[in-house]
Structure 1
């Protein structure tokens, strides 16, 4: 189970984070938890992080604190990741719950242990809509490297006079495309390619064609009433960097 959640380096850190969130969750009215669990169990299709957050807000009192919303959000996703994205037996699951509860008791003497165990068990699911979303994410990662950032740099490269680097006989306009990609293990890779004016235009033209094909494929899926999961790959959000600089 070690290594769950990319932002947490060790299982100890993961348990500490869950402990804090579980303490917050024990203060939520049981009827609210029951209502949330009902919606999670009945959710169809793919449940992404944003949709899960909306579901949590819907089942909490108006004006619920961000602390409570975020704690429940992290608990549901964190428990799914550590228990259902790994090969965990029922015995290991019980042991894990006990570690979290004992950690909470160390932080707060009055921590309601039995309630904490019940909340962990109930929020651990499995919830099919979350499992579908996780499977879709795994499929995208397995398909190939994901684009993290890219940058175009345009500049003029001088052609010096042979034997005399103080004189310039001419210049060559160049465009360099730098791309950073991330593989399935999270490792980053950086590549650079020099493009001619003609190649840059071909890239632009082919990108427009590909964009049009994607639109048609998405429309085709919708017409066939096949769900397109909400993923970074399908939302096509702005990439971190998209710069054109001339030097």
Structure 2
């Protein structure tokens, strides 16, 4: 059992969360270069020294904010293992897209992009690799096989672009439509694998992907 936090520890964590919330709000609305340490500290109602204590500098706060934002999106591994593979993937995407739809500025300016610094890029790529690897394993594919790794990275890029365009356009179609569009993009990616490497078998993966499809998604008014 985890020991309860002392008053000092609780106050320290509360300050950290205030700083994270302030940084999230600022980085969601303004370019990285336009946000200063002073901006974050003022928005959180604390001194700049406290930000330095928790995150060292602005970039540290940015990376922590990116990590927290991605944590809130959840992972495919956390979905109900009793569901079929297709249902698990759709359930994860439903939660993922619902969160992005509710926080479009956060999605467009933080989650679907990054400042280009090595640490932020590493955080972004690590989250991408984890999600694509989990998808491969769910469908019985080897994520380390070169053709699988290459085409799945291309699929990840296309899904991020699709999501960003959907958000910028004001979410013109429903989340179920977005999910099934993603399923079709993934199916097309899988069908391309044997073209690059005939040794890769995708029939089973395609069957698993189809499980859970509803085919009833519609457009918004």
TM-score, normalisation: structure 1: 0.24
Which one has the largest radius of gyration? Answer: 1
TM-score, normalisation: structure 2: 0.26
User: As a proportion of its length, which structure holds more strand?
Assistant: 1
